Structure 1
Amino acid sequence: MAILELRDLTKRFGETVAVDRFTLSVERGEFVSLLGPSGCGKTTTLQMIAGFETPSGGSISLNGRDLARVPARKRGLGIVFQTYALFPHMTVEENVGFGLEMRKIPADERRRRIDQTLDLVHLSNLSGRYPRQMSGGQRQRVALARALVIEPELLLLDEPLSNLDAKLREEMQLELRRIQQEAGVTTLLVTHDQSEAMALSDRIAVMQGGRLVQEASPFDAYDRPKDAFVSSFLGKSNVINAHLESQSAEGTILRCGDLTLDGPASADAPGPVLMSLRPERIEFCAEGEAIVPGRVIERVFLGDQWLLKVDTPLGALLVVRSNSGRREPELGETVHLNWHRDHLRLLAAEAAA
């Protein structure tokens, strides 16, 4: 059952349309991410849900209740901001309990909720510390505990991990998912970090130019992108211009310049298309098994994998190779590339814009 319903949600700032007829349902207990580049409207959408911005059109309902005339302080939402916004003069315990005190929750009930929530975020032993005495990850967990202790119907997260260094950010992604699942709270995250959205979410809502482009599970959004924008924004992708020549039950025939390629089955009519091919789907092979030959023009070692750029008749292709300790081709070396036709994704040609 959907607890949050956004219907044709729109926000205009003068002539600028920041959010354009955005529609989304979030199920109870679900973790959904609004993902997109800066300026795509994701934070504005979150602010309208929180009550910090007034919609220009459309509706927001929470658990069947229309929020149009409900002020922000009465929406009963838990919110974690990018800056954490902790009170520096209060201890961890006082920060976490502040919202309960403002709601006039009795002292014994406050004590129970504070203890329970600090235990949930693994901070019970630090309850007497001040924010200045804590690491970035610990402060983030205090902010999360403060949002959860009021037992919100919906938890809103606005880039909550962006101030952390890369290693701590990865650790906190695991911690955040654990806390959300143990608390069972419905959560909406705003992020521009594709890896973060895919690691944390049950579903991803990809936004571009104020509009919802694709809504899917992380796997489906990555493996079956709806258009070239999603394909390129979610991870790395090779996007190639092609012409769909013909199709049958077995697959399609594609032409790319002077090359003819086998493609996956498609309902598209013959004509211009885009081919999307993930770098990790490309394999090195023997010359006689190759779809295209190539020459390595760039290579980068990333620790757990190698990223290579190969000049081919299809243009420059990115190839990702897991680091298994084997030798990888050197710069200038000739290689031969192969892939399974079902790993190609055919996209509408106009999506390139």
Structure 2
Amino acid sequence: MAFLVLDGLTKTYGEVRAVDSLSCTVEKGEFVSLLGPSGCGKTTTLQMIAGFETPTSGRIELAGRNLASIPARQRGLGIVFQTYALFMHMTVRENVSFGLEMRKVSGRELKTRVDRALEMVHLGALADRYPRAMSGGQRQRVALARALVIEPELLLLDEPLSNLDAKLREEMQLELRRIQREAGVTTVMVTHDQSEALAMSDRVVVMNGGRLQQVDSPFDVYETPKSSFVSTFLGKSNNFAARLESTTDTGSVLTSGGITLSGPRASLLPGAAEIAIRPERIELTGPEQGIVSGTVRERIFLGAQWMLAIETAMGEFLVARRNSGNREADIGDTVHLVWAPQDLRILPAKEGARS
């Protein structure tokens, strides 16, 4: 049986449905991210799990217990807020021990558990320091230790890395994942950062407009998106309106911008569709092998790779090219693009598209 169950979870504010019939599960020990743009309902979902918001309808179960009638303070959850919410007049040790003191834990057990939590986040040597004298990454780890020391059944993270600079944020992704695995605590994190969700999660719950879009492993949600929104929200993607002409057991035939394309077997009926292909799956080739030709309109150097914007009969393609140490095609050059048919993703047409 799933450890955390969200069943038909709905939250309305007047006419606004912030969360709309959300159903998903989280297994014990799993790290799951709620991912989506601002206003998609992910934070409201986290607040309902925590008990800070009351669902309009639906059910939340944790380890077989219905949380509806349990006040937030009695749910026994560990929570790390976006702002960390540390007590600046308390030392690191005092901050971490606060939750245990509220639970009437004292003496040797309190000291042992606080020491263990501080060592887990590599802050044992800073136990007597005050938060105001610490870096953003150190404060984040204090907040994490404070949440873990109570040995919660469920850890909730509300954009815990958003206040860190880019380099420290990447380092803390690895550190936070290490700590979560070491503690073995089931974790639900809210984030709008795609790379963060992909790097840290066992599974990703993609949301938009209060609705669930897709639940999958990071690899599958990136490689096999189920909708246009998922394909474009997670990383860069080239998406074009298309028509699915036919499908057999071996593949599909499509047309887009007057160009005939081969794709993998589609689960859709012939008619209006959308195709998507990642920039890194496209190669530059000779004119005789090219699927589509175009003109380089923009060229951006990103260090490890080049990003080319190429205007074609199908529309503008973004093409990612590994930095080989040489300059890539210049602006104004004519280039020819090719990709493997299995790298094309065939998606349902956007609402309102005609077949």
Q: TM-score range by the shorter chain?
A: over 0.9
Whole-angstrom distance in 1 between the partners of 2:138 and 2:261:
53
1:135 lines up with 2:135 in the alignment: yes
Whole-angstrom distance in 2 between the partners of 1:184 and 1:326:
46
SS at match of 2:267: coil
AA matched with 2:256: C
Whole-angstrom distance in 2 between the partners of 1:178 and 1:273:
42
AA matched with 2:212: L
Q: What is aligned with 1:63?
A: 63
Q: What is aligned with 1:280?
A: 280
1:155 lines up with 2:155 in the alignment: yes
1:192 lines up with 2:189 in the alignment: no
1:51 lines up with 2:64 in the alignment: no
Comparing 254-263 with 98-107, greater Cα deviation is found at 254-263
Over 3 Å counting, the alpha-carbon distance change for 1:226 and 1:352 in structure 2 is: farther
When the two structures are superposed, what TM-score results if normalisation uses the length of structure 2? 0.98
- How far 1:249 sits from its partner (Å)? 2.3
Whole-angstrom distance in 2 between the partners of 1:16 and 1:321:
43
Query: 1:291 touches 1:336 (CA, 8 Å); kept in 2?
Result: yes
Q: What is aligned with 2:221?
A: 221
Q: What is aligned with 1:75?
A: 75
Whole-angstrom distance in 2 between the partners of 1:119 and 1:218:
30
1:348 lines up with 2:348 in the alignment: yes
Q: What is aligned with 1:233?
A: 233
AA matched with 1:332: G
Segments of 5+ residues of structure 2 without an aligned counterpart are none
Whole-angstrom distance in 2 between the partners of 1:351 and 1:186:
37
AA matched with 1:143: A
Whole-angstrom distance in 1 between the partners of 2:352 and 2:48:
31
Whole-angstrom distance in 2 between the partners of 1:32 and 1:267:
28
Q: What is aligned with 1:107?
A: 107
- How far 1:262 sits from its partner (Å)? 1.1
1:263 lines up with 2:263 in the alignment: yes
Query: 1:228 touches 1:351 (CA, 8 Å); kept in 2?
Result: no
SS at match of 1:93: helix
Query: 1:229 touches 1:352 (CA, 8 Å); kept in 2?
Result: no
SS at match of 1:231: helix
Q: What is aligned with 1:167?
A: 167
- How far 1:258 sits from its partner (Å)? 2.0
AA matched with 1:197: A
Segments of 5+ residues of structure 1 without an aligned counterpart are none
AA matched with 1:254: L
AA matched with 1:10: T
- How far 1:352 sits from its partner (Å)? 8.1
Deviations 1:27-53 (A, max 9, x none): 000000000000000000000000000
- How far 1:313 sits from its partner (Å)? 1.2
AA matched with 1:158: D
Deviations 1:15-34 (A, max 9, x none): 11101111111000000000
Whole-angstrom distance in 1 between the partners of 2:95 and 2:257:
63
Q: What is aligned with 2:33?
A: 33
Identity among equivalent positions (%) equals: 65
Query: 1:97 touches 1:110 (CA, 8 Å); kept in 2?
Result: yes
- How far 1:133 sits from its partner (Å)? 0.7
Query: 1:237 touches 1:279 (CA, 8 Å); kept in 2?
Result: yes
- How far 1:244 sits from its partner (Å)? 1.0
When the two structures are superposed, what TM-score results if normalisation uses the length of structure 1? 0.98
Deviations 1:220-275 (A, max 9, x none): 00000010000000000010111111222221111113211111111221111100
Query: 1:229 touches 1:351 (CA, 8 Å); kept in 2?
Result: no
AA matched with 2:69: R
AA matched with 1:240: F
